[in-house]
């Protein structure tokens, strides 16, 4: 292998004079300790390397060893249920708050069972066996996307280490490849699919404001910009727990170690609400906290996308949560700065935008090489400095995501959670999901959604006016609009992540709540027409019942909605009749 000699070191990056051939993106070993690094720039025989481990002690004159291969990670049955660093090396200290690179539990062993026989023609990405873990979790073993051919031999059922070859395949030109239960794949190369599919259905999250107003597509991309403490991490964790994905890849990228520790302590204890098993069984956590090497943070985001694609290729729906892409961008900025590149907007390198595009491009719903359908949905938090959404990471991300969930400081300060601002947020896909909602028994979803959004929009306009002339000076019709908008906020958009009953709302419950609110608005408008003051409507039992319905009506008691509407009609009709009677006398 080629060798290079270091002539300059600056923090996590270095330059070396190559004494053989190197490739861009090649993985290298640096110095006597064999630190993992990657060639990130080349100019003649001068190569620039970013190092993924602590470079203390490295000096000019030390050597760099080429590997001839791109930076890659090992993908296999050992991923689920475990915690890794930014380059997918197992982390020890699962139960403690102190994470450090540790040894892989001796050797990951799985029970292999073949599903093919010698002589079979195997296409790329097809299953050749299954791997069962000690805990009983069964996963398919698929050929890597770049291997196909005739099966020459396959190991008998039994327990093997995941790195030991269990299948031999003869491919084109007679090249024989040994295949283990796990395989290695370069992190920066998206895994191929047979074809992309339309993003025509949402990834259900159980969060009303998202599913009903600003949905994200299954295989779509969403961003969560929000200043410090506005609830990005809580929202990502809520999504990880409740969204309808088969596999969760949670990337803690450059956030403080103690925040990550909360997640790491929490997750293994949590039950998967849908299967009753441990949530961790279908979760992969990648932690590259702020105390870990900064260059590894840059790679971690691609690494997480590669892991997500690996499970997508098994025909699964995968959700990748990244907290936060701003810390990733800061790593990019630091590395770029150390190489002396010309800084662009906000000090970030000019290629910030295209790197963000590369990441979000990896979201898709797709037909896999083996003919299954799987998806990767990407959800990235953004922490704009001083909560300023016009900064570069937020504004560039906006170009690539289709769902944008802006967290609002004022809402968070008022402890209105989730603090997603309904006027700053959007979903460009929403109307594509009308057919899906119809199948869920909500043919009026588009209309109901429009009604809520219009109401919230009106509210902002009227509140501005009320600040000038005073709320009491507004005409009754406008006071009613404000009242209804507040009701939609309190009863529908607000949803506590910590409430047993309300932290998750099924599409059916969301639909029933939307209908009940819409019905109330109709009745209230009719009452207004009959001369009832909005303030009297706010004092009704119906109004209070709607305000509390999230807490009061649980998933398994949806029939309570049946009684709610007639009771509302009766109460409001009673007001109207009373008022007409009063007029008549
Ligand atoms: P960020 O990651 O944006 O800095 P966090 O997610 O850590 O913010 O949220 C900060 C605090 O706000 C949390 O510790 C919690 O007390 C509160 N919080 C955030 N979201 C919610 C929520 N959905 N329900 C209840 N409390 C929340
Ligand atoms: Mg956070």
Which residues face 97 on adjacent strands?
Answer: none
Q: What is the pLDDT of residue 91?
A: 83
Phi/psi for 21 (5° steps) reads -95, 140
Q: Which residue has the tokens 């170690």?
A: 257
In angstroms, the CA 312 to CA 306 distance is 10
Residue 149 in contact with ligand 1 by CB distance below 6 A: no
Closest ligand to C-alpha of residue 232 is: 1
Residue 496 in contact with ligand 1 by CB distance below 6 A: yes
Q: What is the pLDDT of residue 107?
A: 64
pLDDT tens track for 381-440? 999 999 999 999 999 999 999 999 999 999 999 999 999 999 999 999 999 999 999 999
In angstroms, the CA 255 to CA 385 distance is 14
Q: Is the pLDDT of residue 98 over 60?
A: no
Residue 326 in contact with ligand 1 by CB distance below 6 A: no
pLDDT tens track for 523-560? 999 999 999 999 999 999 999 999 999 999 999 999 99
Contact (CB, 8 A) for 148 and 122: yes
Closest ligand to C-alpha of residue 260 is: 2
Best residue among 209, 227, 229, 410 to mutate for probing ligand 1, ranked by most atoms within 8 Å of CB? 229
Residue 503 in contact with ligand 1 by CB distance below 6 A: no
Contact (CB, 8 A) for 121 and 106: no
**Nearest atom (ligand 1) to Cα of 323:** 2
Which ranges in 401-503 belong to alpha helices (H)?
409-413, 434-439, 445-469, 476-488
Domains with residue ranges and CATH for the chain? 3-72 (2.40.30.20), 108-182 (2.40.50.100), 200-426 (3.40.50.300), 445-584 (1.10.1140.10)
Residue 234 in contact with ligand 1 by CB distance below 6 A: yes
CA of 416 to the centre of ligand 2 (A): 17
Query: What is the pLDDT confidence band of residue 7, given thresholds at 50, 70 and 90?
Result: very high
CA of 232 to the centre of ligand 1 (A): 7
Query: Three-state DSSP class for 452?
Result: helix
Residue 226 in contact with ligand 1 by CB distance below 6 A: yes
Residue 242 in contact with ligand 1 by CB distance below 6 A: no
Residue 228 in contact with ligand 1 by CB distance below 6 A: yes
In angstroms, the CA 426 to CA 48 distance is 41
Taking the chain, what is the end-to-end CA distance rounded to the nearest angstrom? 101
pLDDT tens track for 312-368? 999 999 999 999 999 999 999 999 999 999 999 999 999 999 999 999 999 999 999
Bridging pattern class, strands 283-288 and 247-253? parallel
Closest ligand to C-alpha of residue 413 is: 1
Phi/psi for 128 (5° steps) reads -120, -5
In angstroms, the CA 524 to CA 512 distance is 18
Element housing 427 (H / E): strand 426-427
Residue 65 in contact with ligand 1 by CB distance below 6 A: no
Residues whose beta carbons lie less than 5 angstroms from ion ligand 2: 232-233
Which residues face 43 on adjacent strands?
Answer: 46
Residue 233 in contact with ligand 1 by CB distance below 6 A: yes
Supply the pTM of this predicted model: 0.94
**Exposure pattern of 550-565 as b/e (b: 16+ CB <10 Å)?**
beebeeeeeeebeebb
Peptide bond before residue 188 is cis, with ω within 30 degrees of 0:
no
């Amino acid at each position: 292998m080629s060798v290079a000699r270091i002539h300059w070191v600056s923090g996590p990056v270095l330059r070396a004079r190559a004494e053989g051939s190197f490739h861009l993106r090649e993985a290298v070993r640096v110095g006597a300790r064999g630190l993992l690094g990657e060639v990130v720039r080349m100019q003649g025989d001068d190569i620039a390397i970013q190092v993924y481990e602590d470079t203390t002690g490295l000096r000019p004159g030390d050597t760099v060893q080429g590997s001839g291969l791109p930076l890659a990670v090992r993908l296999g049955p050992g991923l689920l249920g475990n915690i890794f660093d930014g380059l997918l090396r197992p982390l020890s200290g699962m139960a403690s708050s102190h994470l450090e690179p540790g040894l892989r539990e001796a050797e990951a062993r799985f029970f292999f069972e073949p599903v093919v026989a010698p002589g079979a023609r195997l296409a790329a990405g097809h299953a050749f066996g299954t791997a069962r873990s000690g805990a009983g979790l069964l996963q398919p073993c698929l050929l890597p996307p770049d291997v196909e051919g005739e099966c020459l031999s396959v190991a008998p059922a039994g327990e093997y280490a995941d790195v030991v070859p269990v299948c031999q395949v003869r491919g084109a030109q007679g090249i024989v490849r040994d295949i283990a239960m796990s395989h290695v794949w370069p992190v920066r190369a998206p895994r191929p699919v047979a074809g992309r599919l339309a993003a025509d259905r949402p990834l259900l999250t159980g969060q009303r404001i998202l599913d009903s107003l600003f949905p994200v597509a299954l295989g779509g991309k969403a961003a969560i910009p929000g200043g410090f403490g506005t609830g990005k991490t809580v929202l990502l964790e809520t999504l990880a727990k409740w969204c309808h994905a088969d596999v969760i890849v949670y990337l803690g990228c450059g956030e403080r170690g103690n925040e990550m520790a909360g997640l790491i302590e929490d997750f293994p204890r949590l039950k998967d609400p849908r299967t009753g098993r441990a949530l961790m069984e279908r979760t992969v956590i990648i932690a590259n906290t702020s105390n870990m090497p900064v260059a590894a943070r840059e790679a971690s985001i691609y690494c997480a996308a590669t892991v997500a694609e690996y499970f997508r290729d098994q025909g699964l729906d995968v959700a990748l949560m990244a907290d936060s892409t701003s810390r990733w961008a800061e790593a990019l900025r630091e590395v770029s700065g150390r190489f002396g590149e010309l800084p662009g907007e906000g000090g970030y390198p000019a290629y910030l935008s295209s790197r963000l595009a590369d990441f979000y491009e990896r979201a898709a719903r797709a037909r896999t090489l083996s003919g299954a359908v799987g998806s990767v949905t990407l959800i990235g938090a953004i922490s704009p400095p001083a909560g300023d959404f016009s900064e570069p990471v937020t504004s560039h991300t906006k170009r690539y995501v289709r769902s944008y969930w802006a967290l609002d400081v004022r809402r968070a300060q008022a402890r209105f959670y989730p603090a997603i601002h309904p006027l700053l947020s959007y979903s460009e896909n929403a109307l594509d999901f009308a057919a899906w909602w119809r199948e869920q028994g909500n043919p009026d979803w588009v209309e109901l959604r429009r009604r809520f959004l219009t109401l919230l929009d009106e509210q902002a306009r009227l509140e501005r006016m009320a600040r000038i002339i005073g709320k009491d000076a507004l005409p009754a019709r406008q006071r009613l609009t404000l009242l209804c908008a507040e009701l939609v906020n309190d009863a529908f958009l607000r949803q506590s992540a910590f409430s047993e009953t309300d932290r998750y709302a099924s599409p059916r419950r969301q639909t029933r709540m939307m209908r009940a609110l819409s019905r109330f608005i109709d009745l209230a408008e009719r009452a207004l027409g009959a001369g009832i003051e909005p303030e009297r409507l706010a004092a009704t039992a119906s109004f209070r019942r709607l305000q509390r319905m999230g807490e009061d009506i649980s998933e398994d008691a949806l029939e309570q909605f049946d009684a709610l509407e007639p009771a509302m009609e009766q109460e409001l009709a009673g007001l109207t009749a009373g008022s007409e009677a009063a007029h008549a006398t």
